[in-house]
Amino acid sequence: MSGYRTDAAIATGNGWTIVENASLEGRNTFRVKARADLLVDIHDDAALEEIFAFRGLAERPVLVLGEGSNLLFAGDWPGIVLSMATRGIEVVEDDGVQALVRVAAGENWNDFVHWSLAHGFAGLENLVLIPGTVGAAPIQNIGAYGVEVGDAIAGVHLWDRRDRVRRHLARDDCAFAYRDSLFKRDAERLLVVAVDFRLDRRPALRLDYAGIVTELERLGDGPPTPRRVAEAVARLRMRKLPNPAVIGNAGSFFKNPLVDADTAAALHAAHPELPQWPAAAGQVKLSAAWLIEACGLKGWREGDAGVSAQHALVLVNHGRASGAELWNVARHVVDGVRARFGIALEPEPRIIGG
C-alpha cells in the first residue's frame, strides 16, 4: 500500500485507519477475545473506494462491524474487519407531516431513536434501547415489540464492493424479512454506508404487543405518545434483558421459530401454554424463550458461558468465557429443544468461526 504513513502496525489516511493483527475483544458486546488480520476504521465513507483500491485488500474477506452487538466470535477473523465509524444525521425533506431523514451508518441506534423523538417524529419508539449502530439495523432488520425497522426505512445507501460503486436501494428492493435482508445475505459485497428513514409526525402507535399497555398504565395518567411508549418499552427491556454493559451478551440469541399451521396445531394440542402468533404466508411463530425454558435451560451454564437466568433467549458471558464456549452452549440449547419438541432453533447473531 503506497500513499499512507505507518507507525508500528498502524496506518492512517484521509478518513481511515488500519491496524494489523488487531484485538476485537473491545469491539463485541460478548466481550470475548478474537483477532483480525486487519481492522479498518472508516470515518468518511468516501474512503471506501480508496481502501478497496489498495493492492492485497480488494479480494480479502470482509466483516463489517458496527458495535459488535449482533455477532459471536467463536474464532478469529482471517481477513478485514471494517468498522463504519461515520457520523451524521440530515433532514433531507420535511413537509411538516413527514420527513426523510438520512443517517450515517456509524451513528448509535438508540441515540438516533431518541433524536427522532426529540424532533417530534414517530415510528421508532418501539425499537428503543436496541444496541448497535444505524448501519447494522437494516442488515438484521431489527425488531422489537411488534415493529421492524424495515417498516420505517425508505432506502439504503451502499458501497458495492464487487462493482466498486455507490448504490441506493429503495425499501422494496431490500428484501426485508424476519431478522433478514438482502444485505445480510450478501454481506461480503454490499456495505451499508447510510440509511434513509421516512418518519411521521402523526403517530400510529403500536400498543398491541404484550406488556406495553400495562407499562403505560404504570407510568401514570396521560394519553399514549411516542415518548411515553419509548419509556414503557425501555422499562420492559431493562427488566427482561441483561445489560451488555454489566454482563457480556448480544441480546436475543435465538430467533422465534416459524412453523407451518399443522405443526403449530400439533404443538398447541400437546402444549397449550406455548405462545404462538400468526406470521406471513400462513406460518405460525413460536416463542423460542418458552421452548428453551421448558427444557430447563434458563439459567443453565457451563463455566463462564451460559443462558441468562433473566431471559432464556439471551446467552451471557459471566466472566472470561471464550466465543467457542458460548457457541457450545448455544448448540446445547439447540440440541435440547430439537430433542424435546422437534423444533430447530436458529441463532439471531452472526457466528464467526463457528
Confirm if 24 and 34 have CB atoms less than 8 A apart. yes
Give the position of cell 421448558.
294
Local mean pLDDT, 10-residue blocks, the chain (354 residues): 44 90 96 95 94 80 92 95 96 96 98 98 97 95 95 97 94 95 92 97 90 93 92 95 94 96 98 95 96 98 98 97 98 98 96 88
Confirm if 88 and 103 have CB atoms less than 8 A apart. yes
CATH number of 5-84: 3.30.43.10
Q: What pLDDT score was predicted for residue 220?
A: 87
Q: Sign of the CA dihedral 63, 66, 68, 72?
A: negative
Instruction: Give me the DSSP letters along 301-313.
Output: EETTEEE-SS-TT
CATH of 248-352, one of 3.90.78.10, 3.20.20.70, 3.40.50.970, 3.30.2090.10: 3.90.78.10
Confirm if 129 and 234 have CB atoms less than 8 A apart. yes
Q: What pLDDT score was predicted for residue 6?
A: 38
Separation CA 129–CA 235 (nearest Å)? 10
CATH number of 89-200: 3.30.465.10
Q: What pLDDT score was predicted for residue 250?
A: 95
- Please list the active-site residues: 179, 252, 348
Confirm if 159 and 45 have CB atoms less than 8 A apart. yes
Q: What pLDDT score was predicted for residue 190?
A: 94
pTM: 0.88
Residue 79 sits at φ, ψ, to 5 deg, of -170, -140
Q: Which of 293, 288, 352 is nearest to 324 (CA)?
A: 352
Q: What pLDDT score was predicted for residue 239?
A: 92
Task: Find the largest Cα–Cα distance for the chain.
Answer: 68
Separation CA 147–CA 125 (nearest Å)? 9
Q: What pLDDT score was predicted for residue 30?
A: 98
Residue-range domain boundaries for the chain: 5-84, 89-200, 248-352
Q: What pLDDT score was predicted for residue 92?
A: 98
Query: Residue 198: is it exposed, middle or buried by C-beta count within 10 angstroms (0-12/13-18/19+)?
Result: middle
